[in-house]
C-alpha cells in the first residue's frame, strides 16, 4: 500500500468534490427522505458519491468502497483496502443552512485505519491524518490532547438524548449537561469529531452512527490521543451502526462510568 500516493490522490479528490458541492448551490437540489422522515438525501449526495466511486475504481480497481448512498460495494468484512465514505455528512445542514457539513473519508487496511479526512466544505477547513504521522488542521499539526475536567469541558451532544428516549437513560445525561461548562450540537458527526481532535470541543457522544460517519475521524482522533469507542467502551463496529463517544482521555472514562447508561 503506497500510503503517500493514496493520500495525495484522496486529498485532491476531496477538494474536487468540495468544489462540486459548492457550485451545486447554483443548481436545483432535489431533497428526498430515506427510511425515516428526517433522514434526508439529495441528488448532490448521490452525485458526489458516484464521482468518488468512479475515480477510486479507475485508480485502484482492487480497493473496496463502502459509501452511505449504496453505490459502492456490498461490504461484509474489512479485509483488504476499504474506503469508507460519507459524501455529505450533515445533509440537513447542507439543505437548511448551506454550511456546517463535511466530506468524511477513512481508508482502512485489514480493519486498521490508515488515512483519515474530514473536509468542512464551506469553511474550507481540512482535517487529515496518516496513521503514525500525526493529524493536521489544514497545514497545522494538531497537538496531543491534554486531560480536562468535566467542569471545564464543552460537550457535543444532541438534545434528543437528554429527554426520554428509547436508547439511553436521560437522567445521568441531564447531570452531565448540568456539570459541564457547556454543550454544543453542530449536526455533523464528522465535524464534531474533527472539533474534538482539534480541541474546539472536549467530547462528542451519539447513540447511533454509521461507519462512514466516524471512519475518517477515528484515524484523526487517534493521532491526537483522543479516545474513541462505542458506549460499551469497545472499538466501534465499522460494518454497521453503533453507539459512539470520542473524548479527551480521562473525560471519556468519566462520561462512560458516570453519565451513560444504555437501555
Ligand atoms: C448524520 C449527521 C448527524 C448525526 C446523524 C448522522 P448524514 O449524517 O452526522 O449529525 O446526528 O446520526 O446520520 O445523514 O447527514 O450523513
Ligand atoms: Ca453521515
Ligand atoms: Ca451523508
Any ligand 1 atom below 6 A from CB of 229: no
Evaluate if residue 1 carries a pLDDT over 90. Answer: no
Q: State how far the Cα of 21 lies from the Cα of 18, in Å rounded to an integer.
A: 5
φ, ψ (nearest 5 deg) of residue 206: -145, 150
Any ligand 1 atom below 6 A from CB of 91: yes
Distance 89 CA to ligand 3 centre (A): 4
Q: To test ligand 1's pocket by mutation, which of 48, 90, 211 has the most ligand atoms within 8 angstroms of CB? A: 90
Looking at residue 183, its pLDDT comes to 98
pLDDT band at residue 38 using 50, 70 and 90 as cut-offs: confident
Q: Which atom of ligand 1 is nearest to the CA of 94?
A: 15
Grid coordinates standing for 48?
458526489
**Is residue 112 packed enough to be buried (19+ CB in 10 Å), middle (13-18) or exposed (0-12)?**
exposed
Q: Provide the mean pLDDT of the chain.
A: 97
Looking at residue 58, its pLDDT comes to 98
Max CA pair span of the chain: 52
Q: Which residues surround ligand 2, an ion (CB under 5 A)?
A: 86, 89, 213
What is the radius of gyration, based on Cα positions, of the chain? Answer: 18
Q: To test ligand 1's pocket by mutation, which of 84, 97, 188, 214 has the most ligand atoms within 8 angstroms of CB? A: 188
pLDDT in tens, 152-180: 999 999 999 999 999 999 999 999 999 99
pLDDT in tens, 9-33: 999 999 999 999 999 999 999 999 9
Q: Which atom of ligand 1 is nearest to the CA of 188?
A: 10
Strand partners, 183: 155
Residue of minimum CA distance from atom 15 in ligand 1: 90
Looking at residue 35, its pLDDT comes to 86
Q: Are 184 and 203 in contact (CB under 8 A)?
A: no
Amino acid at each position: 500500500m503506497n500510503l503517500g500516493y493514496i493520500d495525495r490522490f484522496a486529498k485532491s479528490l476531496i477538494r474536487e468534490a468540495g468544489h462540486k458541492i459548492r457550485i451545486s448551490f447554483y443548481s436545483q437540489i432535489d431533497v428526498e427522505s430515506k427510511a425515516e422522515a428526517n433522514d434526508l438525501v439529495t441528488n448532490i449526495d448521490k452525485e458526489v458519491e458516484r464521482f468518488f466511486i468512479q475515480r477510486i475504481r479507475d485508480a485502484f480497481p482492487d480497493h473496496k468502497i463502502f459509501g452511505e448512498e449504496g453505490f459502492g460495494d456490498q461490504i461484509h468484512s474489512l479485509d483488504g483496502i476499504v474506503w469508507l465514505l460519507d459524501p455529505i455528512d450533515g445533509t440537513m445542514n447542507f439543505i437548511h443552512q448551506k454550511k456546517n457539513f463535511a466530506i468524511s473519508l477513512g481508508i482502512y487496511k485489514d480493519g486498521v485505519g490508515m488515512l483519515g479526512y474530514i473536509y468542512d466544505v464551506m469553511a474550507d477547513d481540512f482535517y487529515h491524518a496518516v496513521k503514525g504521522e500525526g493529524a493536521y488542521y489544514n497545514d497545522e499539526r494538531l497537538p496531543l490532547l491534554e486531560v480536562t475536567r468535566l467542569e471545564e469541558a464543552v460537550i457535543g451532544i444532541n438534545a434528543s438524548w437528554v429527554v426520554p428516549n428509547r436508547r439511553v437513560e436521560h437522567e445521568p445525561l441531564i447531570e452531565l449537561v448540568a456539570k459541564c461548562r457547556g454543550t454544543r450540537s453542530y449536526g455533523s458527526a464528522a465535524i464534531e469529531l474533527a472539533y474534538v481532535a482539534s480541541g474546539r470541543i472536549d467530547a462528542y457522544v451519539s447513540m447511533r452512527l454509521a461507519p462512514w460517519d466516524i471512519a475518517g475521524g477515528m484515524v484523526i482522533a487517534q493521532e491526537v490521543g483522543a479516545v474513541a469507542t462505542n458506549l460499551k467502551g469497545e472499538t466501534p463496529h465499522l460494518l454497521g451502526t453503533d453507539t459512539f463517544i470520542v473524548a479527551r482521555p480521562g473525560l471519556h472514562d468519566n462520561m462512560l462510568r458516570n453519565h451513560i447508561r444504555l437501555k
